[in-house]
Structure 1
Amino acid sequence: MRSFAVSALREPPFPARRHDAVELVAAQSAGWVRDLGLIDTPAGLRRLADADPAELAGRACPEAPADALRLLTDLISWLFVMDDACDEDGLGASPTRLAPTVAELLAVLERHGNQSVAAPTEVGPLGVALDDLCRRVRARQRPALLLRLVSQLREYLLALLWEAANREHGRVPGVTEYVQMRRHTGGTRPSFTLTDLAQDGLPGAGRWADPALATLDVLAADLVCWCNDVFSYGKERTGTPDAHNLVAAIVGETGQGEAAALREAASRFNEGLVEYAAREAALAAGADEAVRAVLTTRRNWIRATYDWSLSADRYA
């Protein structure tokens, strides 16, 4: 599938960059995962190593201070652990099975979104790690970004329940529905937020409400997810196939064969990339430095996802 992706996807026309501290942060983040008990099996540790979260973070955030890169890497590690628990280990096989974990994690987020709420007294490793991530973001004293992160992680967790319901009933979502929900299940938005946290002088709340910037932000998230879907489809169709992939949604809705659906998914990415470049150019023409910083982080993420997908053993 990697060879198809390389031949069918347009290479993002943005410079490829990589943080100098990737190897150092990778070792630190792996220790964080082990120390908090997020993974306690050799197989799980191998899966996370294959995902190489520090490599993805280092390409998405190539100029951040090392501690900001570490925070982003830890978040991506947490998202990979959560996704693998749902997709590979059966936690997301049904809403009934997943719901207690989601409720526990929502309680952690609720505490950080509203400090008048009592902290949960008993949480497992996923909750402890999530609490640690939120506490470290709070320490940066950027309350608007903390609240954005809490909201986006809440959406991510609730979207996992949507996936679980689909699995329980053997349901394949339609393309429009899938695209909408993939923006949440992909964990891209909270990852964007921690990348923004590494920047100084970000736009104020009013600027974020600009429809042009909001549209570009959504399109960047879509491109990251669609690129990942094309690269990961080969892995996801082995074992117990998962319907939560753009290619699978196209097959289910249109009745096309797999090859045609793969080409359509790649075309969606390629066309979206052209649209992104046009929208970015229009925004950049009259942008201040704060908006330009946002545009840089989003293009870094698109390029990082493509480059990381080329080399990550997760999709080999």
Structure 2
Amino acid sequence: MAVPPLFSPIPPAVHPRHAEINTHTAAWAEAFGIGSEDLRRRLVRHEIGVFAARVLPYGREEVVRILADFVMWLFGVDDGYCEEGVLGQRPGDLAGTMHRLLRVAQNPEVPLLSDDPLACGLRDLRARVDAYGTDTQAARWVACLREYALSVVWEASHRRADTVPSLSDYTLMRLYDGATTVIFPLLQMGHGYELPADEADDKSVRAAEEMASFVITWDNDLLSDHKERAGEGYYLNVLRVLEADGFSQPEAMTLAIAQRDRVLTAFMHLTDHLRTVGSPQMRQYTAGLRSFVRGSLDWGISSVRYTTPDDPAGLPTTVADTPTDDRLEPLGIDAVSWWWNVLPPGPPRGLSQSRDLTGARG
């Protein structure tokens, strides 16, 4: 089923060195032997360096390269271990493997997995994170990697049982299994600043980060649905979760789009507020979160990872100017209902109130 243009009020941008960054990441994957030869060849075609260049369009090139190489590494784990490997069906074994990789990220000097390509790549990434980030940012990068590891093990338990989680559980899982949180510290490293501790730990900032993760992963689910349904293995995305709740495929797509539009509206409203009341670093960070949201969408609608030219996916080539639902009311998803408690009063700037497209199914 074709995906319609998705709403975005955020302007597009791409780093001027995107071609060189993409070439570097392909060479990095080859140098460290990320994934099997077949997987590596496929990943190189996805232009992961361009993804990083869209997420950090004005960042330091060295950090954009770290981001690109990390996403290449991530797909080596996600595709190679979870989607296509036997560990994706064995959550206990996957947990052990991820814990050993986490130990390498936390303490690169430990004598673990010395011949493992993913571990060697992770050691390289950690050294570069240390070079361009603060101790606090490096520690948060490792902590967020742990969140990712825990969530993919949770997902593997569903894959093994061939089950579909509830919408609330899926939403919670998806905030982390897309590894969006691991990229947040790189947004700061890319511009050489650090959020003050009182702002970094503020509940409103965490809400903005989680809203960004929600929109990015919902977009990914919508754009990857065709590829995943065409595969032979287990797949899990928001459309499958909604269909398990009784919605038809067209109804599920309409609802998922309305959900991401409502969250994106709230995200813009909240980040507008944070930009007004926050520090100069906060203005930089909220701009980075916005670039992450838009950059992910632009890469998703253009990368062959999702357009699948041999079996065209019917993805949009433009974005929509208006949301399908911009009401400042909770979605009715328990895991994230608290977001609306921290929204500032008043209507969002420049967005008109739309009709309800997210009503509960009777």
Same fold at TM > 0.5:
yes
**8 Å CA contact 2:133, 2:192 repeated in 1:** no
Q: Structure 1 CA distance, aligned partners of 2:255 and 2:233?
A: 19
Whole-angstrom distance in 2 between the partners of 1:184 and 1:190: 9
Compared with structure 1, are the counterparts of its residues 175 and 200 closer, same or farther at alpha carbon in structure 2 (3 Å cutoff)? same
2:103 corresponds to which of 103, 107, 110: 107
Which runs of structure 2 are paired with 1:1-316 in the superposition (5 Å)? Answer: 1=1, 3-6=2-5, 9-10=6-7, 12-41=8-37, 43-85=38-80, 86-111=82-107, 118-120=110-112, 122-140=114-132, 142-240=134-232, 242-252=234-244, 254-316=245-307
Which residue number corresponds to residue 334 of structure 2? none
Worse overlay, 277-286 or 57-66? 277-286
Find the residue that maps to 2:3 and give its secondary structure. Answer: helix
Secondary structure at the counterpart of residue 242 of structure 1: coil
Q: Distance in 2 between matches of 1:39 and 1:219?
A: 31
Displacement of 1:276: 1.1
1:190-239: CA deviation from partner (whole Å, max 9, x where unpaired): 11221221123332111112221121111111111111111111111122
Distance 1:5 1:129, change over 3 A: farther
Residue 114 of structure 2 aligns with an amino acid whose one-letter code is: E
| Cα RMSD for the two superposed structures | 1.7
Name the CA distance, whole Å, in 2 between partners of 1:141 and 1:61: 15
Query: Does the 8 A contact of 2:114 with 2:120 survive in 1?
Result: no
* Corresponding pairs, count: 306
**TM-score, scaled relative to structure 1:** 0.91
Unaligned 5+ runs, structure 1 = none
How far did residue 241 of structure 1 move? Answer: 5.0
TM-score w.r.t. length of structure 2: 0.80
CA distance in 2, matches of 1:242, 1:179: 18
Could you list the runs of 4 or more consecutive aligned residues of structure 1 that deviate by over 4 angstroms after TM superposition? Answer: none
Supply the distance in 2 between the matched residues of 1:236 and 1:242 (Cα, whole angstroms). 8
Structure 2 Cα separation of the partners of residues 17 and 79 of structure 1: 23
Distance 1:269 1:121 in 2: 40
Q: Distance in 2 between matches of 1:106 and 1:302?
A: 27
Gaps of 5+ in 2: 308-362
Distance 2:134 2:243 in 1: 43
Counterpart contact for 1:34–1:40, Cα < 8 Å: no
Deviation at 1:240, TM superposition (A): 2.7
Which shifted more, 118-127 or 154-163? 118-127
* CA–CA separation in structure 2 for the residues paired with 1:195 and 1:187: 14
Equivalent-residue separation in structure 2 for 1:39 and 1:241 (angstroms): 19
How much does 1:244 deviate?
2.3
Residue-by-residue CA offset, 1:6-45 (whole Å, 9 max, x unaligned): 2xx21x111110001111111111111111111342x313
Answer whether contact 1:149 1:193 (CA < 8 A) is retained.
Answer: yes
* Cα distance in structure 1, aligned partners of 2:65 and 2:285: 20
Is the partner of 2:87 in helix, strand or coil?
Answer: coil
Aligned residue identity for 1:94: R
Distance 2:111 2:210 in 1: 32
Matches of 2:211 and 2:302, distance apart in 1? 24
Provide the C-alpha distance between the structure 1 equivalents of 2:74 and 2:144, rounded to a whole number of angstroms.
Answer: 12
Query: Percentage identity across aligned positions?
Result: 28
8 Å Cα contact 1:19-1:63 kept in structure 2: yes
For 2:217 and 2:52, how far apart are their aligned partners in 1?
15
Higher relative contact order (CA 8 A, sep 6+): 1
The question of whether the paired residues in 2 share the 8 Å contact of 1:171 and 1:243 is answered with no
Q: Secondary structure, in 3 states, of the residue corresponding to 1:4?
A: coil
